[in-house]
Amino acid sequence: MELFALDLGNRQTKMKSRKAEKVFSSFFVNADDYGDRSFQASFGGEQTSHDYTSPKFNGNIFVWGEAIDYIGKITTKTLMFENRYASEEFMQLAEMALGELAKDFKEAQGSSILEVHVVTGVPTNDYMSLGAMASLSSALNGQHTITIDDVTYNVKVLETSIIPQSVGTIINEVSDDLGNPINNEITTSNIGVIDCGGGTVLIDALNKMALEVEARDQMENGAYTIYEAVQRNLSAKRYRISDEEIEASVKSGNEKETYTWSPDGTQVISITEEVMKHRKSFTRKVASRAKTTYKGFDRLKSVLITGGAANLIVKDEFLKTVPKAKFVKDSEFANVRGFYKYGLAQGVVEGG
């Protein structure tokens, strides 16, 4: 049996197996709306997207991948806050993610079936909801048949482990690549975790690895609020730009904090002022909410900042309010790596 870890976020999907670690956007495009790509590979074009279909897709074919061309196209988004795991869009995303990991295993092709154990995580509020947990388990468990670029892969999810999302980062920090404990300081202390995602910001605390019920909160205004606010302001200036383009520009320019956008590949338009304005606003909101949730920081040894949108926090500004903040390395993958290590610690043997 193989071990798969999935972090099926509102804006990004992170996937991990013993053979690969991948991050794709959590939106996709109907192939009928995408355009003819038959000449792309033959004449030097880089193929960064692929066709996915499944008996569960009602005859639809979706384009998904590391970098899909969304400009001028209607995207199917999975950002939602109620009954997300029971939605058709989420189930389609989960199906494609399982197929994407399975395509690296020859055991999934032809008449063979790749048996897997999936570990994933959810916000603490969802973890406390029997309905949400049941919907997620239903979406993942059982037989899955996914065709990617005319090659069919068969996956059978024998078991699904679901843990609180914030615990994924903690597990990643306190264990080695085999899931063995390495960091006693975190496991014996009061630790705060702020998971900044595309759709939500999750604020949790753990006391010696036990979740604190009172010290938690969930903000339903994650990174997407930055992208949408910038998009609205630029649209008011008569720029035809989508929030997906804003997101791509922000990610490509984040280290230098210089953000540009090109409508045609030639013009270069600076959007730095707009992006930084909304990043600072986002930072202040998260810091203020954390201070209120934790009722100050006296009892916390440290506050770990993680998630795919952690790098949108303006660090100097944030540390003024949250002086014990520590920004997790490779925060985009911290949760999914923790999910994977959790599976190893539970005795799921790689390739076993």
79-120: per-residue pLDDT in tens?
Answer: 888 889 999 999 999 999 999 999 999 999 988 999 999 999
pLDDT given at position 352: 64
CA distance 145 to 229: 39
Exposed / middle / buried, residue 83 (Cβ in 10 Å: 0-12, 13-18, 19+): exposed
pLDDT given at position 45: 60
Q: Is residue 44 part of a domain?
A: yes
Do 40 and 126 share a domain, yes or no? yes
Domain that holds residue 248: 224-277
Asked whether 165 and 195 are in contact (CB, 8 A), the reply is yes
Q: Is residue 173 part of a domain?
A: no
List Cα–Cα distances, 242 to 24, 71, 224, 229, 351, in angstroms: 18, 8, 12, 11, 42
pLDDT given at position 328: 95
What CATH number is associated with residue 36? 3.30.420.40
CA distance 163 to 296: 27
List Cα–Cα distances, 13 to 25, 27, 220, 331, in angstroms: 6, 9, 18, 14
- Where residue 257 falls (left for φ over 0; alpha for ψ -120 to 50; beta otherwise) is left
Predicted model pTM? 0.93
Tokens 């998904």 -> residue: 64
Which tens digits make up the pLDDT trace of 313-339?
999 999 999 999 999 999 999 999 999
CA distance 271 to 94: 34
Q: Is residue 177 part of a domain?
A: no
Asked whether 127 and 133 are in contact (CB, 8 A), the reply is yes
pLDDT given at position 49: 84
The tally of CA atoms less than 13 A away on the side-chain side of residue 254 is 15
Strand, helix or coil for residue 245: helix
* Number of domains observed in the structure of the chain: 3
In the predicted model, what is the mean pLDDT of residues 257-283? 91
Q: Is residue 172 part of a domain?
A: no
Q: Is residue 282 part of a domain?
A: no
Do 91 and 217 share a domain, yes or no? no
Do 115 and 37 share a domain, yes or no? yes
Do 137 and 82 share a domain, yes or no? yes
pLDDT given at position 43: 61
Asked whether 178 and 222 are in contact (CB, 8 A), the reply is no
